[in-house]
Structure 1
Amino acid sequence: MGKSYGKWIVTALALDPVHVGAGGGRIGRVDLTIVRDPATRVPKIPGSSLAGVYRTYVAMAEQEANPNRQVNGQPKPYYPDCAGLGLDQERGHCRRPDCPVCTVFGFARGAGQEGGFAGLAAFTDAHVLLFPVPTRRGPRWVTSPMALRALGLDVDGPSDQAVYLEEGGDFLNLGWLLLPIKVVSGDQKKAFEELKKPERGLPGYIRDRLALVDDRLFQHIVNSNLEVRTSVSIDPATGAAQEKALFSYEALPRGTVLVWEVIAKNPMFFTIGGKKIELRGGTSQGAQGPGQVWEVVQKAHPYLEHLGIGGMGTRGMGRVRVLHAASTQSPQAVGPAQSSGQGENQP
């Protein structure tokens, strides 16, 4: 039956500041804050935000590849019909077992209607792997043991009173914080060497400027060096700033490196409406199953680089370039336990 699922770890570089809002205004120095992890308080991009843009961009890609698609003799475009919420019975999701958008990302049928499908792809939250910070030696890309664990890299706990670099020195400022310098060694050095491998796709200006700090310091360094912008609405009658329309918002700065996981289920274990799911193609090695789902998912990556993610897209924010996507080993299937009945569930 093949593997029950596959997992891919994706790393990406923010080409612009990225703003995924927490929703509503806040009392504080910034009106519109971004989403943070409730435990670490480090900003993140929720998996729901990733899933939404991935679905939209895959629908765009499929529409460009198949602009004249028809279902039951009627035009049924992938975009916008199979993107978005899609509850409209005429212009909503097609819900077909051969639709790469509906099968991979799922669909609902609306209130009072039975059936639905949770989708074959799942997305974790995107966490900060490397964060750019200004120093007197130029920008440094800071990471921490907690951030590195997202890549499966375990390092010895660094001191919470130092910054670890590949070169020596006395002190280095990370933003407003001045810390003594220590040289990386052991697992710390191995982690840096792993990050600097060419296949990981990090630009040279990042590979040569890595820094490591304690998890506690990482939280403070990130939150103290977010980009904060101020905007104001323009009165169309006067062409000047509109009164009481000033607001501020924060974002992850350009150059932030993010990491997230994509988990792809094996379509052989699921059915839609009693029919087997039929996804075209496979991986470059000809593998079927989870590799077919991943091939659909990664069609969104070029669109992330040009159309972006999050809010404030018209204000120069959101573009993200995928640098590297690596498959990890997944367990073997235990049998088609999740076939027809369990495959048709509400997302």
Structure 2
Amino acid sequence: MKNIVLGLLAETFIHPGIGRNEGAIDLPVAREAATDYPYIPGSSLKGALRDHARDHGMQGIETCFGEQACAGDLLVSDARLLLLPVRSLSGSYKWVTSTLALERLRRDCERVGQSIAFTTPRAPAEGKVLGKGDGMLYLEERVCSYEGPVPDNLVEDLCRLIRHQPVRQRLAEQLVILNDKDFAWYARYALAVQARNVLDEETKESKNLWYEETLPPDTLFYALLASRTDRDGLNSMRRQLRTNPWLQAGGNETVGQGWLATQIMGESENQGGQGDES
């Protein structure tokens, strides 16, 4: 089976919604049941890839994505959360992750034969972080302290999922690894909740006020794409993403949300459409 690991860096706010909710947030983001981490469902991501392929004139869309009566060649996983931007008094923001998120990345890469150099670190204690710095670190309203550096080769491996060179260059300064419980707290409570409204055209009175949850720009996800047959659907999608790397997924497209910069792990950002890989 042919596989690729696809990095997805948010360029705008992202709303991978699940529909209306009875809680305080009317339109929350999709979350994993066990960890409560936000994610982009594979069905949503596959639909976004199909729209992307159609909009850019890709040949063999039915072979790649399937038709109503039969499945296509391309397999698409959920997009898992890897790095979450969190406000900090130590700079504009920090990219936070956890040992669980890194362990998952390592396992997923091993499963599809993608080489990874870093070793999953031992989880820091609650209220402690691994990162470049010393003393205290302020994240949102919480105070943490540095316990040590990030593992060797981790930044280099994560950069392979990020398209933009300037973003790669600042990752080492902004990356911090949290305890799994601390990361789960930020993944639950550090997301933006935006109020939206529909006004009566004549009276300007509110007709429908609602609140929706979004993931911030610079959030990093990754997903696995695979080919289940020898019909070349994966290589067709690979060539498409090399040539047109920006993808829209999730809701609120008409207000500019949902844009992601894709990066195939192990390929340079300037590789373009040259050649195929197995």
The normalised TM-score by structure 2 is 0.82
Question: Which structure 1 residue ranges, 5 or more long, are not aligned?
Answer: 64-98, 109-115, 268-276, 278-291, 333-347
**Structure 1 SS opposite 2:153:** helix
Residue 304 of structure 1 deviates from its aligned partner by 6.5
Q: Does 1:135 align with 2:88?
A: yes
In the alignment, what sits opposite 1:242?
206
| Superposed CA offset, 1:296-337 (max 9, x none) | 2232576662x611111122311111133348xxxx9xxxxx
Question: CA separation in 2, counterparts of 1:220 and 1:165?
Answer: 19
Residue 199 of structure 1 deviates from its aligned partner by 8.0
One of 177, 185, 191 as aligned partner of 1:212: 177
Residue 124 to residue 197, structure 1, CA distance change in 2 (3 Å): closer
Question: CA separation in 2, counterparts of 1:199 and 1:50?
Answer: 18
**Structure 2 SS opposite 1:189:** coil
Question: For the Cα contact (< 8 Å) 1:13–1:258, is it kept in 2?
Answer: yes
One of 11, 18, 23 as aligned partner of 1:22: 18
One of 62, 65, 83 as aligned partner of 1:102: 62
One of 131, 144, 156 as aligned partner of 2:98: 144
Residue 124 of structure 1 deviates from its aligned partner by 0.7
Question: CA separation in 1, counterparts of 2:261 and 2:132?
Answer: 27
In the alignment, what sits opposite 2:196?
231
In the alignment, what sits opposite 2:272?
none
One of 24, 34, 42 as aligned partner of 2:37: 42
One of 100, 122, 138 as aligned partner of 2:75: 122
Residue 256 to residue 104, structure 1, CA distance change in 2 (3 Å): same
In the alignment, what sits opposite 1:80?
none
In the alignment, what sits opposite 1:295?
235
Residue 52 to residue 199, structure 1, CA distance change in 2 (3 Å): closer
Question: CA separation in 2, counterparts of 1:183 and 1:6?
Answer: 38
Aligned identity (percent) is: 25
In the alignment, what sits opposite 1:95?
none
Question: CA separation in 2, counterparts of 1:43 and 1:241?
Answer: 34
Question: For the Cα contact (< 8 Å) 1:173–1:179, is it kept in 2?
Answer: yes
Question: Which structure 2 residue ranges, 5 or more long, are not aligned?
Answer: 107-117, 268-277
Counterpart residue identity of residue 17, structure 2: G
Residue 184 of structure 1 deviates from its aligned partner by 1.7
Counterpart residue identity of residue 71, structure 2: A
The normalised TM-score by structure 1 is 0.67
Question: CA separation in 2, counterparts of 1:184 and 1:159?
Answer: 11
One of 256, 274, 285 as aligned partner of 2:219: 256
Between the two proteins, the alignment pairs up a number of residues equal to: 252
Residue 107 of structure 1 deviates from its aligned partner by 1.2
One of 315, 324, 338 as aligned partner of 2:264: 324
One of 173, 178, 194 as aligned partner of 2:138: 173
**Structure 2 SS opposite 1:51:** helix
Q: Does 1:58 align with 2:57?
A: no
Question: CA separation in 2, counterparts of 1:129 and 1:198?
Answer: 10
Question: For the Cα contact (< 8 Å) 2:8–2:162, is it kept in 1?
Answer: no
Q: Does 1:8 align with 2:1?
A: no
